[in-house]
Amino acid sequence: MTRDRNTVLGPGTPPDAGSPPYSEASEEVLPGTAPAAPATPTGRARLLARLGHHRRLLVPLAVTVLLLQMAVAMVTTAVEQTPTIDEPVYVGTAAVYLHEHSLRLNPEHPPLGKLIIAAGVAAADPRFDRGYDGGQSHVGRHLLYESGNDPWRLMLWARLPVITLTLLFGLVVFAFGRELAGAVGGLGALTLYAFSPDIVAHGSLATLDVPAAGFVLTSVWLLWRARWRPRLYLPLAGAALGAAVATKMNTLAAVPVLLLLAGLSVWRGRRTTAPGARLKPLARAAVGAALVALVAVAVVWASYLAVDPRLRWTPASGEVPVVHGLRGQLAGLLPLPEVYRDGTRMQFGLENAHWEGFLFGRHYAGSLWYYLPAALLVKTPLGILALWAAGTLALLTIRQLRFFAPYLLLPAAVLLAAAMDGQRDFGVRYAIFVPMFGAVAAVGVLASRRRWVPIAAAGLLAFVAVSSLRTFPFYLPYANEAFGSAAKTHERLHDSNVDWGQDLGRLADRLRDRYSGQPVWLVYKGSGVPSYYGIHASDPRRQPERKVRGLLVVSDSSVAKARGRLARLIRSSREVDEVGHSITIFRR
């Protein structure tokens, strides 16, 4: 297969090295034919320059188009969706950061992601009630629905910084893919990223999952580039790693891996074979890893100081659980602010709480170790799954790509293993880093010399784009065609995979347009306030079954987990409608 100058790099080769795809000296005259009249050197040079210029313009144009369609998808989603379950917590905390400079809310998550959201909250300039002293789950609802603010406008502004950041991570994906497999590889990686339903769904929300995963990917890409310019890229990689750790604590699992990669980049980048010179490269590798760690720690401290320069933190009685064993010891050893260490203990405490899950029609207590792989199998487009498998195989078997493998496969594998060990089977958002790293790893398949590979890859990319566009704008409940698409996701998964409270506004429109004046009984799972949107309904679980007559509206996660009275009400009702593939309307 023909390769351009940016295609697969060998070990130790800088990313801008390589020979041009063609040259004047490579032209040959076929035997038995007279040579054609040569063009004048000036004319030929102009032609080659013109072709090169057009080619250089096509790549930025393609990147722009891909990111533009992704932006349209995310902004449309952000405009149409009501607050999901976690968003009011983060938006309310962001407002407290801005107006009170206090760390009292949501200490179980570091502040950087909420400071990013705070940029949008500040632009919206909502009314903030300084006298309101509720918990983190109440402050956001009070800000959105009880303080005279427009929740539609405020939520859009809060989501816009995360949307912007998600688009910027797309540029990282493109750059990483280009270094792996040339400009075509970069565009292929960006296509997988831009059309990933999960990335679009969660990248359009004011939450922390996409920012945290994107910062990890950015750090890994910078560590790869540190093989050639360590003095520039190691500090930047440390800053990106610190940003990840300062956004979400689950990224702590990636820290040892990334420090190892930092040492590997320094060691491989300045390798020497002189006798007795091995110790010096290893020492430089250790110094490089230490530099990344120090910068990362500094970024975490800076994120807390940006909220409160005095780092005031007094936990309420019983707010911070006592964590025994290795986890408790590790939390105490972190060279980070006390509030971060306490937040880590809170996360460990949450792992010990009683949670329920739902997978393939089974409602269960606790967690299943294979939940996340199974959920990814359902919610990832079939074309992406095929390219992930092929790209991973290429990284492991093609010699020129083996030096990419630790950077692309190891961080994702460690983060996935840590997430699988968790007790909260709530959705693929806990593994959102998989489609990010997978988008880059997948284009390793282009390194194959088989002629049919580019055609097959192009066909799979087209299939991915079609599958993603078909689900617009209902990205959150997406499922691939093998599992019945978005309309059937609720039969196999629940919570943020399907129904995270995002369709309350759409439900209000449906009830007004089709069922005006009819009695409504509502079981809604979400953080929105139904009455604000004009939905006046009662909870059927609090009334005798004989009195429940009319429309029974139930969030699909509640349908999946229905027991007792609600289960009987659903069984004795007839399904008549659905909203957003996340809410079902029954008639009794």
Least confident segment among 38-47, 384-393, 441-450: 38-47
**Quick one: how far is CA 387 from the chain centroid?**
19
Helix (H) or strand (E) holding 372: helix 371-379
Cα–Cα dist 474/502, whole Å: 10
Q: How far apart are CA 448 and CA 2, in angstroms?
A: 11
Q: Are 128 and 143 in contact (CB under 8 A)?
A: yes
Alpha carbon distance 335, 140 (integer Å): 31
List pLDDT tens digits, range 2-26. Answer: 444 344 444 344 444 333 333 333 3
pLDDT value, residue 317: 80
258, 293, 526: which is closest to 406 by C-alpha? Answer: 258
Of the candidates 439, 444, 432, 445, the residue with the CA atom closest to the CA atom of residue 376: 432
So what's the pLDDT on residue 352?
80
**Exposed (0-12), middle (13-18) or buried (19+): which is 122, by Cβ within 10 Å?**
middle
Tokens of 55: 């080619």
**What tens digit of pLDDT does each residue of 252-286 get?**
999 999 999 999 999 887 554 444 455 688 888 99
- Which span out of 159-173, 518-532, 554-568 was modeled with the highest average pLDDT? 159-173
**For the segment 218-245, what is each residue's pLDDT rounded down to a tens digit?**
999 999 999 999 999 999 999 999 999 9
Least confident of 313-317, 411-415, 584-588: 313-317
- Contact residues for 184 (Cβ-Cβ < 8 A; gap 6+): 4, 446, 454
Q: Is the pLDDT of residue 287 over 70?
A: yes
Confidence of residue 42 (pLDDT cuts 50, 70, 90): low
pLDDT, one tens digit per residue, over 87-130 is 999 999 999 999 999 999 999 999 999 999 999 999 999 999 98
Distance CA 101, CA 114 (A): 12
Return the pLDDT at 45. Answer: 63
Please report the sign of the dihedral spanned by the C-alpha atoms of residue 265, residue 268, residue 271, residue 276.
positive
- Amino acid, res. 222: L
Task: Name residue, tokens 């809604």.
Answer: 524
- pLDDT category, 167, cuts 50, 70, 90? very high
Predicted pLDDT of residue 50: 64
Handedness of CA 441, 447, 448, 454 (dihedral sign): positive
Please give the Cα distance from 522 to 504 (Å, whole number). Answer: 11
Percent share of the chain, pLDDT over 70: 89
Instruction: In whole angstroms, give the CA distance from residue 488 to residue 498.
Output: 10
CA distance 283 to 296: 20
Using CB atoms within 10 Å of the CB of residue 273, give its burial: 0 to 12 exposed, 13 to 18 middle, 19+ buried: exposed
Q: How confident is the model at residue 54 (pLDDT cuts 50, 70, 90)?
A: low
* 38 to 26, 29, 202: CA distances (angstroms): 14, 12, 57
The conformation of residue 538, written as its DSSP 8-state character, comes to B
Cα–Cα dist 572/588, whole Å: 7
Question: What pTM was computed for the model?
Answer: 0.89
Joined together, the tokens standing for residue 527 give 């953080």
Residue 515: per-residue pLDDT: 95
Q: What is the pLDDT of residue 451?
A: 87
**Mean pLDDT, residues 204-223:** 98
- Rounded Cα distance between 105 and 99, Å, is 13
448-483 pLDDT, tens per residue? 888 899 999 999 999 999 999 999 999 999 999 999
